[in-house]
Copies of this chain bind each other. A is one copy, B any other.
Amino acid sequence: MTRLLSSIALAIATALALAAPLKAQDASEAAEAYAPQKVVYHLNEAGGDDGAGYKPALNNIQNHINAVGADNLDLRVVMHGDGVGLLQAAKDNQQLQGLISGLKTEGVRFLVCNNTLVGREIDAEADLFDVWPEDIVPSGVAELAKLQTEGFVYIKP
């Protein structure tokens, strides 16, 4: 190719690039903005008997999924101390059950501290909503540290 021809080719390529639809570029940037994330949410506060105090946290998690995409997100909730109250309140609260089950459907895992269960004499099966053996971790705080050591980032909602 002569020098003139390659200059022309470059000019055409540049023109084509500039003409690319802006929307597509925006979408690509948005996808790039929130790359895959591993996140642990720390829940250890009381939410009231009706569990209303937990709704902002559950709402945060849903917004987090909406922003990043369920496929891009490994999100775990570690509950200990008063934070276990979420699953106690949910036991008799269909709205909370719906929110929690919805998040589980999108891949969120709710992990419960065994130290709290033993210390407060809570029976996971009888007293908490939808807890399975694999959801119980020996220590909530040690689990928070372990997950972060493995690359999860921390958010206290």
**A residues whose Cβ falls under 8 Å from a Cβ of B:** 30, 33-35, 37, 39, 42, 44, 56, 60-61, 63-64, 66-68, 80-81, 115, 138-142, 144-146, 148-149, 153-157
* A-B pairs with beta carbons under 8 Å apart, 7 shown: A30-B138, A37-B149, A60-B141, A63-B141, A64-B139, A64-B142, A67-B142
Which residues on the B side are within 8 Å of A140 (C-beta)? 60, 63
Question: B149 contacts A42, CB within 8 Å?
Answer: no
Question: A145 contacts B39, CB within 8 Å?
Answer: yes
Which residues on the B side are within 8 Å of A154 (C-beta)? 148, 153-155
- Taking A44-B60, A61-B141 as given, write out 13 further A-B residue pairs in contact, using a Cβ cutoff of 8 Å, ordered by the A residue number: A33-B138, A34-B142, A34-B145, A60-B140, A60-B141, A63-B139, A66-B139, A68-B142, A68-B145, A144-B153, A145-B155, A149-B153, A153-B154
CA distance A34 to B139 in the complex (A): 10
- The A interface, classified by DSSP as helix, strand, loop or mixed, is helix
Question: A141 contacts B157, CB within 8 Å?
Answer: yes
Picked from B81, B139, B148, the residue with its CB within 8 Å of the CB of A67 is: B139
Question: B146 contacts A33, CB within 8 Å?
Answer: yes
CB distance from A153 to the nearest CB of B (A): 4
Picked from B39, B44, B139, B149, the residue with its CB within 8 Å of the CB of A157 is: B44
**Which 9 residue pairs spanning A and B have beta carbons closest together?**
A67-B139, A148-B153, A67-B142, A64-B141, A37-B145, A39-B145, A63-B115, A60-B141, A145-B153
